[in-house]
Amino acid sequence: MAIQNEFLGIIYGMLLLLGMHAIAIVAIFILGFVLFSNTPGYAILAFWIYAAFGFSLIQLLYVIPVVLRLKQQQRWGMMKGVIIGAVITALVSGGCFLIYGRGNF
Residue 59 near residue 82, CB atoms below 8 Å: no
Burial class (CB within 10 angstroms; exposed 0-12, middle 13-18, buried 19+) of 13: buried
Whether pTM > 0.75 for this model: the answer is yes
Q: Tell me: pLDDT of 2 over 80.
A: no
Higher-confidence position of 13 and 4: 13
**CA 97, CA 12: separation in Å to the nearest integer?**
28
What is the mean pLDDT of the segment spanning 74-79? 94
Where residue 96 falls among pLDDT bands split at 50, 70, 90?
A: confident
Residue 101: which pLDDT band, with cuts at 50, 70 and 90?
Answer: low
Cα–Cα distances in angstroms (integers) from residue 96 to residues 70, 76, 86, in the given order: 30, 30, 15
Q: For the chain, what percentages of helix, strand and coil (3-state, to nearest 5) are there? A: 85, 0, 15
- pLDDT at residue 27 tops 90: yes
How far apart are alpha carbons 23 and 12 in whole angstroms?
17
Length of the chain as a residue count: 105
Give residue 59's pLDDT band: very low, low, confident or very high (50, 70, 90).
Answer: very high
Q: Rg (Cα) of the chain, in Å, rounded?
A: 17
